[in-house]
Amino acid sequence: MENVFIETANTRKFFKLCDELTDKTSLIGPSLAMVTGPAGRGKSEAAKHFATQTDAVYIPPMNVRSPAMVLREIAFELAKIKPTRTDACLQTIGDEMSKMRRLVIIDEADLLPLQILEMLRNVNERYACPILLIGEDELRGKIASRRRLASRIRRKMDFLPVTQGDVSFFFEKALNIKLSADVAAVILNHAKGDWRPVLTTAIGIERSVRASAKGSNGDSVTGELVKEVIKSG
């Protein structure tokens, strides 16, 4: 299987939002944004891909985070240093933003306490630092509970469920397999709108096709084979 990034309607909308936050026009008004959706929709992969292709920085999830830890992570991603004091972290962030405005993407922001979300709002306002918060649906409620936060969200985006076209495109690009519409529908129904079941099903199908020595072609991938792979998985 090829390790490829699949562009979808979701990711195109996501990249457009990121571009808007870093554009100089975002200096007028707030430059905070929020992307939400259930786990498995592809939010994190889109964020990591955007960061690798641009100057944006991606802050990965951590189970436990304090305000100082978050600031230290941001400072490190921007300047490759980890100041021990909070004021030094803020100074580093301010210095880096004065050189070049870079988007800071915070993953699993729904798990952050309101104290840290408020701190990120302050960083955004004080240093003109564009920040994108990514999280599951609970993030919307947290933001809405604080008017200071809610009023400063420039853009909101929901990551929509995976489509049948997404499934077919993924199999064609990653496995060089053209699925029939019926087979793609079976996989989509199993995935329930998420990418992870699509990926695990693809791994199982690839293994089965190789074992049968039929080669990678759409004719060898039937609805029965897909159901068997799903059941065994």
Neighbour tally for 3: CB within 10 Å: 5
Does one domain contain both 128 and 190? no
Last residue of a domain, one of 132, 158, 184: 158
Last residue of a domain, one of 120, 136, 158: 158
**Per-residue model confidence as pLDDT tens digits over 57-68:** 999 998 778 999
Domain count, the chain: 2
Both 106 and 39 in a single domain?
Answer: yes
For the chain, list residues with pLDDT below 70: 213-219
Q: In the chain, which residue ranges form alpha helices assigned H by DSSP? A: 9-22, 43-53, 67-79, 86-99, 114-127, 138-144, 147-150, 164-175, 181-191, 195-211, 223-232
Same structural domain for residues 196 and 88? Answer: no
Amino acid at 211: A
Indicate whether this model's pTM tops 0.75: yes
If asked whether residues 17 and 58 sit together in one domain, one would say yes
Domain shared by 172 and 144, yes or no? no
Q: CB neighbours (10 Å) of residue 75?
A: 21
Per residue in 172-222, pLDDT (tens digit) is 999 999 999 999 999 999 999 999 999 999 999 998 887 776 555 556 789
Note down the domain range covering 71. Answer: 9-158
